[in-house]
Structures are given as C-alpha cells and as structure tokens.
Amino acid sequence: MKKLHCIVVAAAAVLFSAPLFADDFPSRPITFVAVFGPGSASDTLCRIIADPLGAALKQPVIVEDRPGADGAVAAQYVQHANPDGYTLMLATNSPLSADPFLLRQVSYDPVKDFAPVTRVGSFTLMLVVNPSLPVHSVKELVDYAKANPGKLSFASGNTAGIVGGKTFAHWAGLELLHVPYKSSPQAIEDVIAGRVSMMIVDFTVAMPHVAAGQVRALAMTRLKRSALFPDLPTLDEAGIEGFELDAWAGFVAPARTPPAVITKLNAALRQVIDDPATRAKFRNVGFEGFSSTPDELGDYIKLQLGKWQKMVQDAGIQPE
C-alpha cells in the first residue's frame, strides 16, 4: 500500500506540474536542429524563423546543424533529446519520409518517436545541369544522355535529390552515375565545377547559381509551374509525363514532450510562419511557407511515408 501511495503521489505531481511547466516555458534558449549543413534549405529556414520566434517567446533560439545520413543523424539526436520543448528538429521528407526506405536500418520510428508541432511549408525543386553541357531542354538532355551512355552523372544532397534523380533516370531510360553528398550546397558546387553533370535541387540552394549563370535550369519537379520561375517548364510538360516530386518541412519535438508545451510552441511558430514578413523571406529563397496544427502535421507525416515508399520502390532503389 505504501508503494502504491508513492506511485499515485508521483503521478499526481506529474499531472499537475505539466500546466505549470508550460506556463514557465520557455525559461532558457531553444535549439533548432537542422538536418543538413550550413547553406542548406533546412539551415536557411531555421535562421529565418529563429529570430522572430525568439522575440515572441523572449528567449534566444539557437540553430544547430547536424548533417549526416540524409537527416538520420539529426533525427537520432532529437529522438534522444530531453522531451521538454527546448530541442526542436526542422524535419523534412529526408529523415521522416524517405530514410526508412532508403537506408537498411534507422534507429527511430518517424511516427512514434516524435511529437509533431507544425508544418513550415514545402520546397520546390528543379533539374539543373552544368552549362557546358550542350543541352537547353529536357528532351535535349535525354537525347544527349542516350547518345553518351554512362558518361553523365547526377549529384544528390538529400533524399529528394536521390529519389528525384533516380526516378528521372528510370522513367527516361537513362544510364546515370549517382554521386551522393552530405548536403546540397556541396553537391551543387561540384555541378558548377563540372565534376558532376546535373542534379535535382531545391530552389533555395539553386536560385542564386541559376541567376549567376553557374548552372542551367531545365525544368521543375511539380506538376504546376512556379510563380518564381514562370518560364521554367515542369518535367511533365517536358515529356517525363506524370513526374511529380515535392518536398516538405515541419517542426517536431521528441516524443513525450508535454502537450501544453507543444500547444504553446505551435501558437508561437504559427504566428511567425504565417507573418507576411516571414513569408516574403521564404519566397526570396524559393520556399512556400504555411503552418498547421500538430495533428495535421502528424497525419501528413503518415501519408508521406506511404508516398515516399512507393516512389522509392517504383524507381527500383535498393536500401543501402
């Protein structure tokens, strides 16, 4: 009976302290964990959101890059972080949608090991090539690759680049060498230098290099053209019928983070993400920003797992 009494008292203490903890939250700096390195889209978005969120919550927000294994390194780190609301991961399709099917084994469950907080938005991706290639359209690229089998390569800096590149090669019937990198900024530098022929890359990383003429944009991966590049055709329009690849971003916390803290973080983040000034900054780096409830993000993550599993299987990609 004495032991039972202690358990009941402890449970009651936890129950009644949760709202008090939420009222006190945050009382120290919050850390955003980006799943890729400096200059990547995930790092860029974290830095756009960090300052206004810090101002709203009256605590500094620190950005910490933890690249590696296409986001799995960051996910594993956040999985084991204290579930107190002070560590958030800017999750993307890499660790929480694609890695479970691209890697032979991941140490985390994308659904059970994380508490959804809010969507942040979606990335648009484009197919870019080194400008020394004698191609100015997707058709010319396909024809050139078929005339030079095994001579062209594609870089990837995340799972969208892997799945997109291999799907493009598979659907177009091309023989392309895959050259993986830890992050997209590193990958596109080698495309610019001519060490790799092409890559599918998010607008955030690609836009300045396209504007400078360092890479040539041939098409984008959505079915609908982007207002940012209205003259850039879709891969579907360019002859790779039905090709559609979209990437997403959202904040998650470690599982068992108190619901009251999740609610407080969601409210503050939605205020920042949906602010016109923040959305303007998102557009400037080629990102479409919008927020959601925690449940909406949770449902979306489950849906995306099935979608990315099918894309990986359809492209004939074997786990590594």
User: 87 has which bridge partners?
Assistant: 31
Domain encompassing residue 208: 125-220
Q: pLDDT class for 140, splitting at 50, 70, 90?
A: very high
CATH number, domain at 50?
A: 3.40.190.150
Given a cut of 90, whether residue 320 has pLDDT beyond it is no
Model-level pTM? 0.86
What is the count of structural domains for the chain? 2
What beta strand segments (E) does the chain contain?
A: 30-34, 61-65, 87-92, 114-123, 125-129, 152-156, 176-180, 198-202, 216-220, 247-254, 287-289
Given a cut of 90, whether residue 82 has pLDDT beyond it is yes
Q: Is the model more confident about 320 or about 237?
A: 237
Instruction: Specify whether the backbone of 194 is left (phi greater than 0), alpha (psi in -120 to 50) or beta.
Output: left
pLDDT of residue 315: 87
Question: Largest Cα–Cα distance in the chain?
Answer: 82
Q: pLDDT class for 17, splitting at 50, 70, 90?
A: very low
Given a cut of 60, whether residue 14 has pLDDT beyond it is no
Q: Is the model more confident about 8 or about 62?
A: 62
CA–CA separation, 124 and 301 (whole Å) = 18
CA–CA separation, 68 and 115 (whole Å) = 22
Percentages helix, strand, coil for the chain (3-state, rounded to 5) are: 45, 20, 35
CATH number, domain at 175?
A: 3.40.190.10
Average pLDDT, stretch 167-171?
93
- Same-domain status, 255 and 282: yes
Of 201, 220, 239, the residue at which a domain comes to its end is 220
The mean of the pLDDT values for the chain is: 92
- Same-domain status, 147 and 93: no
pLDDT of residue 21: 54
**Residue 13 within a domain:** no
**Residue 235 within a domain:** no
**Residue 156 within a domain:** yes
- Same-domain status, 116 and 144: no
Given a cut of 90, whether residue 12 has pLDDT beyond it is no
pLDDT of residue 246: 83
pLDDT of residue 19: 52
**Residue 145 within a domain:** yes
CA–CA separation, 92 and 159 (whole Å) = 9
Given a cut of 70, whether residue 13 has pLDDT beyond it is no
Average pLDDT, stretch 229-245?
91
C-alpha dihedral (47, 53, 55, 61), degrees to nearest 10 = -60
Q: pLDDT class for 186, splitting at 50, 70, 90?
A: very high
